[in-house]
Every structure is written in structure tokens, then in C-alpha cells.
Structure 1
Amino acid sequence: MRPCRHTRPLSRTLAQRGGAVVARALLAAALVLAVPHASLAEEDEPADPRVPYTVEVRVTDPPAAVDLMDAVEGASTLRALEGEPPATRFGLRRRLESDLATVRDVLRAEGFYAGHVDGRIEDGPREVQVVVSVTPGPRYTVAETAVAYTGAYTGAGASGGPASLPASLAGVGLAPGQPATSDAVLAAERALIDRLRAEGRPFAEVVDRRVAVNHARRAMAVRLRVDPGPAASFGGVRIEGLERLKADVLRDLAPWTPGTVFDTRQLDAYRNRILETRLFSSVTVRPAEAAEADGRLPVVVAVTEAPPRSVGGGLRYSTDDGPGVRLYWTHRNLLGRAERLRGTVDLAPVSQTAGLVFEKPWFLHPDQSLRLSGDLERVEREAYTGLTARAGAGVERRLNDVWRLSGGVSLDLARLKDEDGTDSSYLVGVPLGVARETVDDVLDPTAGTRLSLSLTPFAGRGEGAALGFAVADLSGSAYWTPLEDDGLVLAARGRLASLVGAETDAVPPHRRLYAGGGGSVRGYGHQMVGPLDDDGDPRGGRSALELGLEARIKVTDSIGLVPFVDAGLVGDEAVPDLGGDVLWAAGLGARYYTDFGPLRVDIGVPLNPRDADDRFQVYISLGQAF
């Protein structure tokens, strides 16, 4: 407060100014009556008291291969709240001081223990500028690591003697000479505990950590105290929460043999096996709190069973097939051992299908399943019309998380009419297959590959004569995300199929090779790629080739666009003639991404159409095209 320059008595001053004060008061009252209240409110509205600012982070002498700028700005409160300025300069100063402390922590976490951080606030014409200056200095390295073990369990382990307890962190990712970062220290701790738990010590834990920094040597030493816990081997399985499923089913899924060294990684594999049954809404797998009398440690499995039955359905539409509806009913535990029975009804103007599938998991082997199936179809397509009935039995063997083998037998009965008339046929087939799959999502893959090869010999009768032929079908797809997120996914697919042993006309129409449609060459009608008869209907062939490429572009988290190009060829020879008439199509699709998969709308246009081809095709369904 400034000192007063005049020292006249206050009462005398007021007396001399009284008349003027009264006059001004009357004038103010008159103005209040004359001016509308809204205008007065606008004139009296106080200015925004906040302090807008900008932030500039300067990193001097940045070390090679270390992006400190991103780390500093990612931890900055000033940067995060730049659009919400504080009410006062004092509040801005508080933000700056908080940031300086945070940046010092970032430097230490990255191994820059001698770094210097400074900040200042500079006035500008419209807003103030906050400058944060960072000088990292030299990066410290790891000098030594040591691990000491405490407790009553430091003797011989389940997998051997005391050598099973590492004396340093060098073998788990933290060796002398490495950058002294906090992430490296914590990662080495986790790796050490994971190693101990995988070597028969399920209760191992770090009880103390000491980190010493030597500024003269620019080095850091790390010392841990670890309680390894008792050595253990696998015991039995205790199950809690079962209501319908028989308990021995879950016990048989355990991937270990009782008496072997306890490995906590096996618990995760066990839990995944249980979840794959889709019989439970929750699954917890953990070691018991204490070992049994024989020294073996039981595993406790706590589950909550999901409802065993479900019903559902889906809608689709395509220009060539019209609208379609698919309804299904599933029982996932039919006989108490996770047997699955699924019934489906698929209705569309061109075909009506009803089918049943029975699956028995762990058939004669933990990684093997039995599949029995049958369906009846009435079809009215341009290539042929009539009835077909199919039944099959097969076994699928899972070799690992990627590869699967399958084999079985099938019976195929048909009475169909095509351009050559009506004929009945029956065929017995022996389908054999191998498949490899590494995709990250079944309905919406963004990475990985799919590859499948099938070979099916057929024998039977068709057109009143003995018939034998074989079909080989190779298909695959690949998915690549070139950016850091899934905003752009490039997807490619291909198919090559061949029929040998019989001429095209001798093979029943529904067993010939076709291409075209929503899951094949978009832009052409279903089965319309390839030879046509005099009426412009597809005849099918003995070889088929398909190619597809699309870019899946996410405009928002829930909406995407998909430009695509497809190509296909069907011929009468067993090997595709690449010099023949390859049909090309291009188009644009839209995707609406939901929790259960993307909703797909594709519009395809043939690039080299024939007279029998439509100008475009529209496809609507759930899931990507491939």
C-alpha cells in the first residue's frame, strides 16, 4: 500500500466533498433507471481472471538413442492442462514447480542422475510463456548387482541344489554396463521372481531393494533381498464351484504330471485350457496355501459355470442371394463332459438349410476332438437347383497353438437339376486337412496369417455311372498393421483349387469348383466367375483361382472405410490357365465396429463384366470379408 501524500483530517475532507458526492449519487441513480438491466450486466461483467500460457520444453545435449522429449512432455502437468489455465500467477508457479520435480524423477528413471532441470515464466503480449530447460548430463550405467536370500528355504530346491538360486541379476536381464534405468531394474526383478516360480518356488518374492548411486563413477549398484519360499512339486487339483460339469474333466486338462517341479507358468496354460471350453464365466487357478503331507503342493481351481444353453441369430443381405437369416441353438455341456450340440437353420431365397453338429472334446487324447455333422439343403441357384444331404464324422488333432490336423469320412447324397437335366448322385469322401492360424482376432484380424490345405478323394456314382475324383484346395490370408495402432490394416487373401480324376460334366454340379460372391470375388454374383452356359448361368469348373487385397482404414474408433480389389478365374482344366479370362472387380466398403465384431457393407463393381454380369453387387453381414 502506498503512503498517503495528504494528511488532512478525514471528517473535513468528507464535508468539503459532500455536495459533489451527493450529486454523483443522484446522477448514478438516474442512469440506473435509464439503462436496461441487460446492458448494465454486460458492462459490469468482470474479465476472465485466468492466466493463459504456452509451454516450451528444451532438452539440451540430448543423448543418442534416448528420446527424452517424449518422456518429459508425457509426464508434464503443464502440457496436459495447457487448455485449462490457472486462476492466478501463483497457481501457474505451483504447476511449474510440480513439473520440475516430475522431470527430475523422469531423468533419474532414465539413468541421468546428474541431470539439471530449470524453469521460468516469461511475460508475453497476450499470454505468458513457461520454459522448462532440461540438461540430462551423462547417463549412468549398472556397476554390479547382488541377490541375497533370506528365510528358512534357502537350501536345495526342487530342481537341484543351491545353484538354482541366482546370486545376481546378470542372468535375468540386468548385466554390468547396461543403462541404469528404473524400468530395467524392475524388469530384472520380475524376471528373477518368474524364474524362481518356474523352478519350483511358487511363493518367491522380493522383500527389500537397495539402490546405491556413485556419482564419481557414474554408476549404480543394485542389491535385492529375496525370500524364495519353499521348494515344491505339483500335487493334485482341488476344484470349487462345479455344478454340472464332471470334476474329472477339469482334472484331465491339467498340463502337468503330479510330482513334477512346480512351474507357475503351467497355471496360466491350465487356465487358458479351461476358458477355451467356454463353459465358465470366471476361472481362477492358484497354488494352495500349504503343501500336503507328501510335500506336494495342490492347485486350487475356482470356477463359476456359465449357462449351458444359448440361442442366437444373424441377418445378412447380398444382391445375388437377397436377404438371409441364420438361427442357432447350442448346448455346451450335453452329457456332462463338455460335449457340444449345435443346431442351425439358414434361410434365404436361393437356399434353405437345416443342420446339426455334435462335438466331443478330448476324444481319446487331450488335444483331439470328435465331430459328427449332418445337414439338409434345398437350393435354387443359377448353377443348379434341387436337394442335397450330407453327413460326416471326423477327428481334429491340435498339434500346438498354431497347427491343426484333421481327417474323417463323409457321405453326400444329391438330386440336382442343371442345364443337362436332373440327376441323382451319391459320393463317399475322405476329407483330410492341415491348418495353421496365428491371427489375433477371428472376426476382425489385424495381424497374423491363416493357411489351410484340404485334400478330399471322392468315390461313388453320378449320372448312373461309377465316379471317382479328388479335390485339393489351398487358401490363405495375411494381415499387416503398418502403423503403431490399428488405424490402417492391410489384408490380402488367395485361393487355389484343383479337381482331378474326372471331367467337369461328369462331376455333380454342387461338387464342381466355383468363384464369385461376398466371400470370394466381390462385384460378381455368387458362383458367377468362370464358364457360363447358353442361358448365362455358371457351369463351374475343375480349377479356381482367387485373389483379394483391401485396406481397412479407421475413420473413428467405430467407423471405417475399406477400398478393395478382387480377382478370380475358373477353368475346365485341372490347373488354372493364367492366360484365360481373369475377372477383376473393385469396390468400397464401410465397417461399423462393435464389441462382437464389425458390421460389414461392401459394394463391388466388376471391372471387365460380361453381358450376364450385373453392374454392381452389395453385401451386408457380420465380420470382415476374410
Structure 2
Amino acid sequence: MLLASVSAFPYAASAQQSVSADVPQATTSTGETPDAAVPQVDPIVPEPEFDAALPALSDDPNAPLEPMADFETPAAPLPQQPGTPATAQDGTVVVPATPTAQDSELAQPLVPLDQFDVTPATELAEGEDPDAIEIKYTTVVTGLEELGLDGQFEALSALEEGDGEADNAVMVSARAREDEQLAIRLMRSLGYYDATATSVVEQNPANSGNLRAVITATPGEQYKLGSIMVKAEPTVPAGLIDRELPLAVGDPIEAERVQGAEANVALKLPQQGYPFAEVGQRDILLDETSFRGDYTLPVTTGPRASFGGYTTEGDLAFDAEHVGVLARFDRDELYDNRKVDDLREALVATGLFSTVSVEPKRTGQPGPDGTEYVDLLVRQDAGPPRTLAAEAGYGTGQGVRIEGTWTHRNLFPPEGALIGNVIAGTQEQGLGVTFRRSNAGRRDRTVSLLASANRSDYEAFEAFTGTVAGRISYDSTPIWQKRFTYYYGFELVGTNEDRFDFDLGERVRDTYFIGALPLFAGFDTSDDLLNPTKGFRLKLNLSPETSIQGGAGFYARTMVEATGYFPITDSIVLAGRARAGSIAGIDRDDLAPSRRYYAGGGGSVRGFGFQELGPRTEEPNPDFDPTDPEEEDAPTIFRPVGGRSLNEFAIEARYRFGNFGIVPFLDAGQVYDSSLPKGKDLRFGAGIGGRFYTNFGPLRVDVATPINRQEGESLIALYISIGQAF
């Protein structure tokens, strides 16, 4: 009961402690304190008053404590106005202090939690805590390098991601524990299923404040395959799944090896007649005593299938019959998923779809050799069929050339396009319309019909030309670059052109009617259509023609070209080109100027203007005014005549760095009056180019100058276009 009294009345206990602390006490030789030595002190609370304050207690020591409600709570003092004097029990007058604004604020009730403002103070929100402490640490890993896992660990490590800095040691320890589990996962991925890892964070050096996190990996024994079992229906040929599952007894149970083997099964079965094959969840039972694992793989093969027909649904661009034209397989062929992927790419290449998909569907109908026919369901979502496009280029002597096209890619289904084009340039203007049917009757065959009217105004000639032409072609595209390409067709040309009459010594205009049967064959082993880096290309053009101008004349135009691409390093490609042309069966002056051969320009011999090379005439300059004392034009001008043969050579080193490139080059070429090129009197041009590589091909800017420049030739030639020069 004494403890209860002291607990209930701490002030009495405090009084006793105060006495013992403030008054020195005398002792006798026996260590006892005599009563005479205790000073007389008046009690703070008189004994009668103290006893009266004690609550009434039961005489039964086993009775429960009295309820708290029986205790009287001292009456609260009456509130006083600020500054009002109060009288203490000893008669002292006390004047309470006037409350301040802070006291009033503290006296207010608490704000509800949902209304509490948690926005940090401005000086803390706008900057880092100036009292924040940052510690440095290093990371040491042992036991993983021998397994070849150190690189993977470093790439995934939480410690490494922290770059050796942390707010406190607890953060370093948390990262180290996370890396423990990472090390264990990596070791288990190689078959070390008993692997352990520990981490220690220590000061390095001692008491320096700098920490070192040490991860110690212990791989233990590596588990290997003890047996391999595939649960599946019999296949044709027998053992197909076992053959396509590249695992053997004794192989380490490595995650990548096992997953790769299973992926190979999932890939190869649909390529060999099983479109619905599914690889189930593997089971590996480990034996801790022999460190072996029994591997079981369930496979659902589904029926062995052959190609059947086609069905299509959705917003159709064309029907199922045309889908069959794009396919590179026939009915009754054994199902091969690679051919289905090829069909899907062909559908995408038409450019007619927003989305398109191809998937096999079971028919339940028996096919050849015990297979089941599978139809291909093509889901179509036709996209916008119309496009507007433009391209622009510039060449010295050719000027600016801009061409815009409008295309409706499916105006005449299936894949019947109507194309209108406009050419606007400083030296060429024209209008044209083309009908083109892609995949006409067979995959990759294009039939086109063209009608155009053009005006060309070059140094060599001025011509007003109308053309009607047709062509059947098998071409390369950016999606499918083909090894063999060809075209054949016809051209009907009516053209009115001016030419220099050497007999009269002046320019005259003639009208020519030309019929031609152009032929082309190409062989291409290069690795890219617009930016090749290896391989070679061979091209042959042959065009038997007849020209009616006064009388009929028959002749043949021929052109042969070879280009090669040789990688020197990963960033440097050496490219070369040789080209030769011949026109046999007609004199040069009987040939329409637009059908002759010319050289010079961005796609020919750089350093020279467009059509600038070859035989030239010296003619009076019509712009020269001899009466003008400030006349700057020359009295005569040189104009190319063209020829019946040519040869061209080019070599360039293509150095690429990132999306940019530098290309120094040297070109050579000449045009001759004879029907066969002579290979002499070659002219050379040298220069340098810049390249900016985009996802649709390189943008080209070439600057060149002729070597041993002659009168009338350009000092600097500039060429801007898309794609490499060759």
C-alpha cells in the first residue's frame, strides 16, 4: 500500500527527496543517525491534513481495489482574466502573466487530419536538405567471375546502380541483401541450385566513414541432366520433337540452354506441318545426392496439316482470290509457318492496310498423306488508299527539280493504282498519268501504262516530248530486294527538238517519231537497295528502236553497268562502278538529241555539269550584246552534242560515323562519236560528299570539281539527292 501512496502522491515523495538532498546529515561511529542530529523542519503538509487526504481503504487485503470513480477529483480552479491577481494559500498575491499570441495558438483545438497542410516549407521544398549526409561505398564481388556471371551481375546489381553513393549505411545494407538474391538467381540459372551468397558491409578503412560491400558467392555443385523425356503424340517423321530438342543427357541444366531448346521446338514444329503445336510447362526433378535432374517436357502437337484455301474478313482491300496470288505456296503443300509469314509480309507490302493478320484455321477435312487441310484466315483493315508525295533535287547544269505525285493505290481493285505526277524545275516541266497494277496475275509482277508530256531545256537540246509507254516488270523494293529483276515493254515517243546542224552551222528544229522495245535484266547480290555495303550488281539495258524523221531508221541502244561494294572496316566501304554504252545502226546526227548518250552530273561523272562531257559545239551566244560596254557574257558558248557511245568509272570511300558520313570520290568518263567507246581522252572529276543516314535511305550532298578544267566547264559542281551515287 505504500507504493500506491507514493504513486498517488508524488509530491510527498518529492518532499522527502528534497530533504535528503539539501540537508547534510550527521552520523555516529556506529553509522546510525542520532535523533539530535536531525534538524527540525516544518512539514510542507501537516499530518492531519495528509491523513485526511488519503482515500478510505478496505480492511480486507484480498478485496479488489476500489473503483476510480470513488476517488474525488480536485476541483479545477476558476478561470481568471489575464492580469487578475490571485491569492496563494500562504497569502502571497500572484499576478498571472498576460498570454501571448503563441499561447493563444496553442490553446486552439487541433486541425482535422484531412485538413492538415503537409506542404513542406519553401526553403526545404526548393532545395536539398543542407544537413543530409552522403556516404561513399565500394563493391567487391567474389565467386561469380569464374562462372562468367560477373558481367550480368554488374548490369543488374543494386549496388552498382547506386554508383557508390548512398544516404546512409542502412541503404547500403539493403542493396547488398538484394544483390545476395541476385547472385543466387544467376548461379541457379547455370544449374548451381545449391548456391549460396552472403553480404558484409564494413568500414574501409576502419573508422573512416567509407564503406565496402562484399558479396561472396558460393556456387556449389552444378546439376546436370540425368534423363530427358518428351510426352507427345507420335509425329511424322518419327522422333521429330527429339531431333528438334537440342538437349543431351549430361548437359548442365542451364536456363538459357533449356529455354532455347524449347523455343526451337516451338519454332520448328510449325515449319514442318504442325501449325497448332504447343510446348507445355517443363518439369525437372533434382536429386541432391547425384546432382542430376530428370527433365520432362509435355508437347501438344495437334494435327499434321496441309495448306487448303483462304478466307478473309473485315474491311476488305481485296478478296480471298487475290490473297492466293500473293502466296508462294500451293494447295496440298505441307504446312510451313515461314510461308505464312512471307504471305503476311506481302500483304503489308501492298500498303493497302492499316492492320492485317494471317492465322491458320482447322477445317477437319482430310488432306494428302494423312494430313488435315488448314485454311488461312486473313483479317483485313483497309487503310487510306490515297497519298501525296514529293521529292526534290539539285544538280549543276540540271538546276532544281521538284516532282509531286498523287496516288490512289486501289482505285481499280485488286491493287490497281492511278498515279498523277507534276514536274516543276528550272530546266524541266511536265505532267504525267500512270496506271499500275501490282501483283498482276502473279506475285511481284507489275503492269504499268504511262502517258506524259514534258518540256526539257538543257544546254544540249530543248525538247517538247509526248510519250505513251507500257511495261511489265519484276522489280526490287525496299521490303524485298530481289536477286534477279527484269522488265520489258514498249515506248511510242513524239518529240520536237532543236539540234545543231553541222552542215548549216546553226541550230534547227526537227520532229521525231520513235518506237522502242526496251528490255532490262539485273542481277543483285548487294545487302541494301539504297545503301549497299557489300556485294555487287550487274545491269544490262537493250532497246531496239526505230526513228522516223524523213525516213525510217533502225538502231539499237545498249548499256552495261557493274558496281561492287567492299567493306574495309565496320565503318568504311569501298565502292566502285564501271559503265559502258553503245548505239549501233544509225549516225549521230540522224538520232534525236534526247536519245543520244551524255555524261556528266550527279549520277554520272561528278565534277561536271549535267550532260557537259563529250563533243561540243562552239556557237554564238544569243545573250551577248556587243553594243553594251558593260557586257559580261562571252560572245560564244559551248554546248554538248552527245554521242553514240560512252564509258564511265567511279570509285569512292564511304566512311560512316553514327548517322553521318563522309565520302571522298574520284570519277572519270567520256562520250564518243563512234558506236563503241574508245577508252581514251577520259576526263576526271574529284570531290567529297556528306551523308545523313535516315530510315528511308541516305541524304546525299556532293561537291566536286573537274581536274584539268577546260574553257566553258564549271569550276564547282553541287549535287543534292536521296540515295548513294550508285
TM-score relative to the length of structure 2: 0.68
**CA distance 1:118–1:565, shift in 2 (3 Å):** farther
**Quick check: which has more Rg, 1 or 2?**
2
- Residue 685 of structure 2 is matched in structure 1 by 584
| Aligned CA distance change for structure 1 residues 412 and 293 (closer, same or farther; 3 Å) | same
1:433 deviates by 1.9
Query: Residues of 1 paired with 2:224 and 2:705: CA distance?
Result: 62
**What per-residue deviation string (whole Å, max 9, x for no partner) do you get for residues 586-606 of structure 1?**
21314263x555544333344
Q: Which amino acid aligns with 1:224?
A: L
Q: Which range moved further: 398-407 or 198-207?
A: 398-407
Question: Could you tell me whether the CA contact under 8 Å between 2:616 and 2:640 is conserved in 1?
Answer: yes
Q: Which residue in 1 is equivalent to 2:666?
A: 566
Paired residues of 1:209 and 1:225 also in contact (CA < 8 A): yes
Tell me how far 1:104 sits from its aligned partner. Answer: 3.7
State yes or no: 1:523 paired with 2:626.
no
Aligned partner of 1:29 in structure 2 is: none
Match of 1:21 in 2: none
How many residues are paired up? 571
Corresponding residue for 2:175?
Answer: 95
Q: For residues 66-112 of structure 1, what are the alpha-carbon distances to aligned partners after superposition, in whole Å with 9 as ceiling and x for unaligned?
A: x64443333333334427x3322222222233234324433443566
In structure 1, the partner of 2:714 is 614
Of 441, 459, 469 in structure 2, the residue corresponding to residue 392 of structure 1 is 469
Q: 1:227 aligns with which of 278, 297, 300?
A: 300
**1:538 and 2:624 aligned:** no
Partner-residue secondary structure (3-state), 1:208: coil
For each residue in 1:503-555, what CA deviation from the matched residue of structure 2 results, as whole angstroms up to 9, or x when unmatched?
A: 55554332233333223333322222444443433333402213242425345
C-alpha distance in 2 between matches for 1:110 and 1:592: 42
From 419, 424, 434, the equivalent of 2:511 is: 424
| Distance across 2 between alignment mates of 1:136 and 1:531 | 82
* Corresponding letter in the other structure for 1:92: V
Q: How far apart in 2 are the matches of 1:504 and 1:135? A: 87
AA aligned to 2:348 is L
Secondary structure at 1:419 match in 2: strand
Q: Displacement, 1:577?
A: 4.9
Displacement of 1:132: 5.3
Question: 2:597 — aligned with what?
Answer: 513
SS in 2 for 1:241: strand
Question: Quick one: which amino acid aligns to residue 333 of structure 1?
Answer: N
User: Quick one: distance in 2 between partners of 1:586 and 1:616?
Assistant: 9
Alpha-carbon distance in structure 2 between the residues aligned to 1:106 and 1:178: 18
Matched, 1:185 2:258: yes
Superposed CA RMSD: 4.1
Question: 1:352·1:379 contact (CA, 8 Å) conserved in 2?
Answer: yes
Q: Return the alpha-carbon distance in structure 2 between the equivalents of residues 385 and 216 of structure 1.
A: 93
Alpha-carbon distance between aligned partners in 2 of 1:185 and 1:74, rounded to the nearest angstrom? 23
Q: 1:234 touches 1:259 (CA, 8 Å); kept in 2?
A: yes
Flag the 1:468–1:79 CA change in 2: closer, same or farther, 3 A.
Answer: same
Following superposition, the deviation at residue 382 of structure 1 comes to 1.5
Instruction: Name the aligned partner's letter for residue 453 of structure 1.
Output: K
Aligned pairs (5 A) from 1:77-88: 77-82=158-163, 85-88=165-168
Q: Which residue of 1 aligns with 2:379?
A: 302
Segments of 5+ residues of structure 1 without an aligned counterpart are 1-8, 16-37
Once the two structures are superposed, residues 44-69 of structure 1 have per-residue CA deviations (whole angstroms, 9 ceiling, x without a partner) of 96244233445566677747xxx644
Cα gap change, 1:511 to 1:450, in 2 (>3 Å)? farther
Within a 5 Å distance, the mapping from 1:45-60 to structure 2 comes to 46-55=130-139
Alignment correspondent of 1:257: 330
Distance change >3 Å, CA 81–CA 236, structure 1 → 2:
farther
Measure the CA separation in 2 of the matches of 1:531 and 1:139.
81
Contact 2:327/2:443 (8 A) holds in 1? no
More displaced stretch, 227-236 vs 460-469: 460-469
Distance 1:385 1:233, change over 3 A: same
SS in 2 for 1:536: strand
> Residue type matched to 2:520 in 1?
G
Could you say which residue in structure 2 is the equivalent of 1:549? 652
Q: Does structure 1 residue 346 correspond to structure 2 residue 423?
A: yes
CA contact 1:246–1:336 (8 Å) conserved in 2: no
For 1:186, what is the secondary structure of its paired residue? helix
User: Cα gap change, 1:576/1:179 in structure 2, threshold over 3 Å: closer, same or farther?
Assistant: farther
* SS of aligned partner of 2:639: coil
Q: Call closer, same or farther: CA 1:98–1:441 in 2, change over 3 Å.
A: farther
Per-residue deviation, 1:213: 6.0
- DSSP 3-state at the match of 2:467: strand
Cα gap change, 1:251 to 1:45, in 2 (>3 Å): closer
Shift of 1:499: 0.5
Q: 358, 366, 381: which one pairs with 2:458?
A: 381
Q: Equivalences for 1:139-158 in 2 at 5 Å?
A: 145-149=228-232, 154-155=233-234
Q: CA deviation at 1:367?
A: 4.2
**Aligned pair in 2 of structure 1 residues 430, 477: CA closer, same or farther (>3 Å)?**
farther
Residues 356-392 of structure 1 deviation map (CA, whole Å, 9 limit, x = unaligned): 2222233343443222223322111112222233332
- Aligned amino acid, residue 546 of structure 2: G
CA distance in 1, matches of 2:598, 2:142: 64
Per mean C-alpha deviation after superposition, the further-off stretch among 462-471 and 300-309 is 462-471
Matched, 1:411 2:497: no
Q: 2:339 aligned to 248, 254, 266, which one?
A: 266
Distance in 1, Cα, partners of 2:641 & 2:568: 39
- Contact 1:446/1:481 (8 A) holds in 2: no
The unaligned stretches of length 5 or more in structure 2 are 1-15, 23-121, 502-506, 619-636
- Within the alignment, does 1:73 sit opposite 2:154 as a pair? yes
Identity across matched positions, percent? 25
1:459 to 527, 541, 545: 545
Structure-2 change in CA distance of 1:270 and 1:48 (3 Å): same
Structure 2 letter corresponding to 1:543: L
CA distance in 2, matches of 1:342, 1:183: 52
2:240 aligned partner, one-letter code? P
Q: Could you say if the C-alpha distance between residues 93 and 336 of structure 1 is closer, same or farther in structure 2, counting changes exceeding 3 Å? A: same
8 Å Cα contact 1:199-1:263 kept in structure 2: yes
Tell me by how many angstroms 1:345 deviates.
1.2
The correspondence for 2:701, drawn from 588, 601, 605, is 601
Letter in 1 for 2:692: R
User: Are the equivalent residues in 2 in contact too, given 1:585–1:604 (CA < 8 A)?
Assistant: yes
Asked if 1:335 corresponds to 2:409, the answer is: no
How far apart, in 2, do the equivalents of 1:111 and 1:604 lie?
A: 63
The 1-side partners of 2:617 and 2:219 are apart by 77
- Mapped partners of 2:666, 2:350: distance in 1: 37
SS for the counterpart of 1:193 is helix
Partner Cα distance (1:90, 1:525) in 2: 74
User: Cα gap change, 1:438/1:144 in structure 2, threshold over 3 Å: closer, same or farther?
Assistant: farther
Cα distance change, pair 567–139 in 1 and its aligned pair in 2 (3 A) = farther
* C-alpha distance in 1 between matches for 2:495 and 2:17: 117
Match of 1:272, SS state, is helix
Equivalent residue, structure 1, for 2:580: 497
Contact 1:476 1:495 in 2 (8 A): yes
* CA deviation map 1:401-436 (0-9, x unaligned): 532232222233333223333333333322222234
C-alpha displacement of 1:569:
0.7
Please say which of residues 257-266 and 378-387 is displaced more in the overlay: 257-266
Say yes or no: does 1:435 pair with 2:508. no
Q: Distance in 1 between matches of 2:306 and 2:442?
A: 25
How far does residue 214 in structure 1 lie from its aligned partner after superposition? 6.8
